[in-house]
Every structure is written in structure tokens, then in C-alpha cells.
Structure 1
Amino acid sequence: MRIDSVPANADCRILVVDDNVDATLILSMSLRLKGFAVESAQSGPQALTISQSWQPDAVLLDISMPGMDGYETCERLREQPGSGDVLVIALTGYGQEEDRKRVRETGFDAHLVKPVNLSLLPDLLPQLIIEKKARLASE
């Protein structure tokens, strides 16, 4: 993927992680209809396994999950080799300033509060991916 232009949706690999099966299905289907390559997971450990083998460009990660929550999942994802350029977005019902601060401190790149406007994601995701890759290239 080039870092100087917004890629076509088909060039973006998105991993959707949420323990709510219906939420995962709706978001995944919505992104697929817009042309994205999408995989989904219902837990942190499953997300880590998929991420390591599939190498997504972005991960939409729920915070409140049983067992390994989104914070721990993000931290472990960041420890995986080759995951430094993956865009990780917190997708959560938690939207207070202290929640946003914890999201930033944990290593997420962005914070979206549920319910997410599904019509905005197809334009937002590729742009955020490009911005992250450009930021990393300039470091």
C-alpha cells in the first residue's frame, strides 16, 4: 500500500474484534459491502492469532470483553513482530475523557464511541491508515 495516497477499500485489511457476535457481524458485513477485506474475532486471543497470520492494516477493537479486554489485547498486539504500523482503533461505549486518556496511554491510535456511524467508516479508515503510515515513515 502506498503511503502518499488513500488506498482503494479493497487494499485495506480490517480486523473487527468484539465479543458481541451481532455487533461484529453487522460491522463486518457493512465494511465488506464497501469493498474492504474483513476478518472478525470475538475475543482478544482470537484477535491476536488472526492478526499475526493475516496482517491487517487496521483493527477495530472493542474494549469491554470478558477474559482479555481490549486494553490488554492492544498491548499484546503491539508486542507482536511487524505490528507497529497496524492502526488500532478502540471501538467502545466508553467515551469519557478518562477513557480516552487510557486508550491513548495503552497504545491505540484512535477512539470511536459506539454506536459508530457506519457511513463514515469507509472514508475514515483508509485515511487513518495512510496518516499512520506517513507518520511512521517520517520518524
Structure 2
Amino acid sequence: MSVAADELPHILIVDDNVDATEVLALLIEIEGFSVSTARTLAEGREQIVRQRPRLIFLDLNLPDGNGMSLLADVKADQMTAAISVVMLSGMMDDKIREEAHLLGADAFLVKPLEHDQMTALLGAI
């Protein structure tokens, strides 16, 4: 029996790197999830309202601001606080990683993601 796309657990990717986002979205779909993408914080906020995700892969640096602001908004809102958020960055910075965890990030990973990292995160939701 197949599951309708609107019944699949939904994942949101907020990242302005088009190539990396497309690859990650394809891998997520192969793992059996629905996925949407956003290139900016504003688009990410719109996507969350349109279809609440179970997990957000959120880039730290976006054209319209810092991903930490969206992380803080998601975790502060009672309606979205249960969404898992994985922060993504091009480099590891212990101070920024600690800030992300204090704001409620479930993980802080360095891009590019390893396939095993992504599947482990998806398996946990």
C-alpha cells in the first residue's frame, strides 16, 4: 500500500546553495520523506506555515540573515517548538555550535553532510 505524499513526514531544507540543496532533497525523497526547499529565511518561514515539517535542515548563513534567528523563532513558538532543527555550516565553530544548542538545535553539522549523518537524522524522526 502506498502512502500519499501529504501523509509522508515532511522535511524542509533552508539553504541558499542550490546544488547542495538539490542533492540533499533528492536523498531525502529516496529515504521516503516529502521535502521542500527555501533559499532565504523569509522563504523558510513561508514554507513552515504552508506545511509544517518534522525536521528542518537550516543553513547558518543566508542571504537575508543568520539562520539562528529562524531557529530561535521556531523553538520559541509553542506551535512549532517540537520541530527538530539541524543547523548547517561550512565550518565548525564551537562558540556558534554552543549558541545553536542553547537555542534548541538538535544538531550542528558541517557541510557537506555525509549520507550516513543524514540518514541517521531522518531515522530518528
Match status 1:19 vs 2:16? yes
CA contact (8 A) 2:15 2:38 kept: yes
RMSD of the alignment, in Å?
Answer: 1.7
CA contact (8 A) 2:13 2:25 kept: yes
Aligned counterpart in structure 1 of residue 112 of structure 2, from 103, 110, 115: 115
Match of 2:79 in 1: 82
Structure 1 unmatched runs, 5+: 1-9, 130-139
Percent pairwise identity:
29
| TM-score normalised by length of structure 2 | 0.85
Code of the aligned partner of 2:58: L
Q: Decide whether aligned partners of structure 1 residues 81 and 52 sit closer, same or farther in structure 2, where only a CA change above 3 A counts.
A: farther
Provide the secondary structure at the position in 2 that maps to 1:90: strand
Per-residue deviation, residues 45-74 of structure 1 (Å, max 9, x unmatched): 111111122010000000011212211111
Greater RCO (Cα-Cα under 8 Å, separation 6 or more)? 1
- Distance in 2, matches of 1:117 and 1:20, equals 16
Provide the secondary structure at the position in 1 that maps to 2:57: strand
Code of the aligned partner of 1:33: I
